[in-house]
Structure 1
């Protein structure tokens, strides 16, 4: 269970990355049915002003000892140069070894590497630092082509906004898709982006103004059981098919077909967790033609069949 979260901040504090962790875990959303988290911002200098990369100041509320014995220790981005606080490295190792989880956002992966937690593990960081992380820590299996990677108790994420995806993935894994979706809805972000998407290294910023596809994405997400195609979606977005496909790749980071499939799998996960529908009905409700098609895509994305997923994540009676 994920209930106690400690974020360790060190100068210079990366404000966006810290903000991501505060937004997902630090806000009281019990009125939305989200469990309350015991959220702690920890530092070797609690109560003192810490400088940040953004010109504002941060004051941590807890000492480093407040990060011991928690369910999750998170490291936002920051300096990649080191040397890193040996007490912080000890806390990271202790957490991973005692059944807890550790999470890095962006360049925070360098501290996990310094603690030896990336040795022999798949991991990622911001694309600007990936080559350096691989060179300085050759035993780490650095993957540039992902948004986040979970390997055992260690979860690493790429730059900035990918930290949101990693945090929501963790919430979904520990607390279920319904809780993750409620948090995402309040944050006005997609509830799920697969960690296997590429970082946007080779995607240029559109030269013309981009009005966004959020309305289309939300419309589709409410009608996943209906047929959708690039021509129909382009028409709804009032774009040519070519422009729509290009805009979609630039804004969403994948193709319309892959995004739609991932959303349908997400819908199937939700139904498996919260209903006793059989797999055939869940396939129809999610927009897959048959249970066989659902099983194919579910196994490919999640790694286990739908029925096995239901057994692992719910106490509902299992229907074939």
Structure 2
């Protein structure tokens, strides 16, 4: 049995997306006589069995109350709009449910609820890229990865954005039934088993603006002229700061070194040129300061986990 706990403010797609995948997987298995009987039973529950109102205004009546569920093998915690605030009773109830289950998962900001139970302590986890820093701040013992769509760490699987509930459920189907079964379900739903690039195209290209005025000017120059000399020495001269001071500001106010910022800024500009223009990949590499396609390719794989050509084909 797969349990999806419900609460007021839940995002409906983070509930219905996984549920539809599990339903499609059951139908696919039933269509193959050679497979032994297997099917997913999806159950929804809430505190006291009360109806909940989703973030989009839909009213959802659950199948059961939290206290009545004793045999869920998998618990999939859905997400809410923004950073959710869960009361102690809800956290306690979910703690009991995931403690009984052999496997737990979360979609989007549902990771905040899993983290509140302590289940993500010492584990790698994903959440929506916009809230990854907040999850890391609240739960330092969690290794938050905002770049990927789905993270599996032992019996816990977490997923990034709202629509990634489909990706997460396909990953769980692959764990249970194998890769071919997951591909069959993905084809039936007309989606990818694993979307190339994950959340990286959003997470890593969302470059934090610094508070310091001199550093902000440097950031704007980097984005406007990615093909310029962007060594630390050159940047420090432009900012009128020592290299050491500039390095410290970059780490404190952007969360990364100057070198990493420059690389990601160049990838950000290159990604726009690849998807919004017809410039050749060679031209894009030259205009964004990479010099060669090979160098740009290495940077894209480091930052986005995808090649420039695949990025263009996927997102243009």
CA deviation map 1:231-267 (0-9, x unaligned): xxxxxxxxxxxx975532426xxxxxxxxxxxxxxxx
Q: d(CA) in 1 for partners of 2:66 and 2:131? A: 27
Is 1:41 aligned with 2:106? no
Residue in 2 that maps onto 1:32: 31
Residue in 1 that maps onto 2:2: 5
Distance 1:43 1:199, change over 3 A: farther
| Structure 1 unaligned residues grouped into runs of 5+ | 209-242, 252-320
| Max Rg structure | 2
CA deviation map 1:33-58 (0-9, x unaligned): 4932111011114253x211112221
CA deviation map 1:143-191 (0-9, x unaligned): 1111111112211100022221121111101211232122212211123
Q: d(CA) in 2 for partners of 1:96 and 1:127? A: 24
Q: d(CA) in 2 for partners of 1:44 and 1:207? A: 48
CA deviation map 1:257-297 (0-9, x unaligned): xxxxxxxxxxxxxxxxxxxxxxxxxxxxxxxxxxxxxxxxx
Give the TM-score normalised by structure 1. 0.59
Q: d(CA) in 2 for partners of 1:197 and 1:55? A: 27
Q: d(CA) in 2 for partners of 1:63 and 1:139? A: 31
Q: d(CA) in 1 for partners of 2:147 and 2:72? A: 30
Q: Secondary structure at the match of 1:36?
A: coil
Given that residues 91 and 113 in structure 2 are in contact (C-alpha distance below 8 angstroms), is that contact kept between their aligned partners in structure 1?
yes
CA deviation map 1:66-114 (0-9, x unaligned): 443311001110163423353x434544455456111100000000011
| Structure 2 unaligned residues grouped into runs of 5+ | 206-267, 278-307
2:315 aligned to which of 250, 254, 263: 250
Q: Secondary structure at the match of 1:104?
A: strand
Given that residues 146 and 199 in structure 1 are in contact (C-alpha distance below 8 angstroms), is that contact kept between their aligned partners in structure 2?
no
Distance 1:138 1:186, change over 3 A: same
2:200 aligned to which of 198, 201, 211: 198
Distance 1:67 1:153, change over 3 A: farther
Q: Secondary structure at the match of 1:128?
A: helix
Given that residues 148 and 195 in structure 1 are in contact (C-alpha distance below 8 angstroms), is that contact kept between their aligned partners in structure 2?
no
* Structure 1 residue 9: Cα displacement: 0.6
1:20 aligned to which of 17, 38, 51: 17
Task: Give the structure with the larger helix fraction.
Answer: 2
Give the TM-score normalised by structure 2. 0.59
